């Protein structure tokens, strides 16, 4: 219906962009300026472009993206906090020809779900993990995350993260790259059009790998902002992310076709 209306206004040959039908019309629950919406959209665009959405099962985590199933117009399961890779394992082992992915935040994947993450990666589960890292627990109101930077303030590190007391930020992406079970590991961002294009290419590659090979986990980290949790404007948050998050979590491929390319 919508396509017809649109084509009445814009000639098809001039149409350069349209919303993927794999995103529902539900209003996103994310804060203005948050990267989740973009990460959702490019993931769904990849599934549409690869033509595999009818055979795809996604897993939503606990965290800001707990309601991902409200926005992604595909079959989805909602996991307990951190357990998404275990659900994905159960599904993929039973339906090896289906496409399975998890979508998780840093608290979910790198704190409470560390064991599930590491072991799914180590077993080489043939799934895609999309890991959105914004260095904070967004949904519960801005508490310190496993990826909160040294000195960074949060509601549970109100004077800044003291690494001597609270430990260091966990570079779980570099960690899983070291495991023989991961095929591709990459770190991307979605705060500029250029980065969105790169991130989408990386997500597409991850899903292509899942379709092409029988083994190997494909891991895509997206470093994102949390302007609400960081208590910044969206513009300032993106600038702060470039200046502080990217040096600690450098963007680019870490593992390609089973080989570490960038340490």
The footprint of other proteins (CB under 8 A) covers: 53-57, 59-60, 66-67, 69, 73-80, 83, 86-91, 93-95, 98-99, 115-116, 118-119
Q: How far is the CB of 81 from other proteins (least distance, A)?
A: 9
Q: Toward other proteins, which CB reaches closer, 52 or 261?
A: 52
Q: How far is the CB of 239 from other proteins (least distance, A)?
A: 33
3-state secondary structure of 128: strand
SS (H, E, C) 231-257: CCCHHHHHHHHHHHHHHHCCCEEEEEC
Cβ atoms within 10 Å of 128's Cβ, excluding its own: 27
Phi, psi of 149 (to 5 degrees): -70, 155
Q: How far is the CB of 61 from other proteins (least distance, A)?
A: 11
Q: Toward other proteins, which CB reaches closer, 164 or 214?
A: 214
Name residues whose C-beta falls within 8 Å of residue 60's C-beta, 6 or more positions apart in sequence: 66, 67, 68, 69, 76, 77, 78, 79, 84, 103
Q: Toward other proteins, which CB reaches closer, 39 or 91?
A: 91
Q: Toward other proteins, which CB reaches closer, 55 or 178?
A: 55
Compute the distance between CA of residue 150 and CA of residue 155 in angstroms, rounded to an integer: 14
Q: How far is the CB of 86 from other proteins (least distance, A)?
A: 4
Distances from the Cα of 260 to the Cα of 148, 182, 242, 247, 252, angstroms? 25, 10, 24, 19, 12
Q: How far is the CB of 26 from other proteins (least distance, A)?
A: 12
Q: Toward other proteins, which CB reaches closer, 36 or 191?
A: 36
């Amino acid at each position: 219906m919508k396509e017809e209306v649109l084509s009445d206004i814009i000639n098809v040959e001039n149409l350069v962009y349209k919303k993927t039908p794999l995103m529902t019309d539900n209003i996103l629950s994310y804060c203005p300026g948050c990267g989740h919406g973009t990460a959702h959209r490019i993931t769904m665009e990849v599934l549409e472009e690869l033509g595999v959405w009818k055979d795809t099962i996604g897993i939503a985590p606990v965290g800001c993206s707990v309601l991902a199933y409200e926005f992604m117009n595909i079959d989805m399961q909602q996991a307990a906090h951190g357990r998404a890779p275990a659900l994905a394992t159960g599904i993929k082992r039973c339906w090896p020809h289906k496409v399975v992915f998890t979508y998780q935040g840093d608290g979910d994947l790198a704190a409470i779900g560390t064991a599930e993450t590491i072991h799914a990666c180590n077993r080489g589960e043939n799934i895609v993990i999309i890991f959105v890292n914004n260095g904070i627990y967004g949904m519960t109101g801005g508490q310190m995350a496993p990826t909160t930077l040294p000195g960074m303030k949060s509601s549970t590190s109100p004077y800044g993260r003291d690494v001597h007391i609270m430990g260091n930020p966990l570079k779980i992406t570099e960690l899983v790259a070291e495991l023989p079970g991961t095929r591709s590991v990459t770190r991307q961002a979605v705060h500029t059009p250029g980065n969105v294009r790169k991130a989408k290419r990386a997500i597409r590659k991850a899903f292509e790998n899942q379709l092409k090979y029988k083994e190997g986990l494909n891991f895509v980290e997206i470093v994102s902002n949390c302007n609400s949790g960081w208590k910044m404007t969206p513009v300032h948050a993106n600038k702060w992310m470039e200046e502080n998050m990217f040096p600690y979590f450098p963007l680019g491929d870490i593992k390609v076709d089973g080989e570490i390319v960038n340490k």
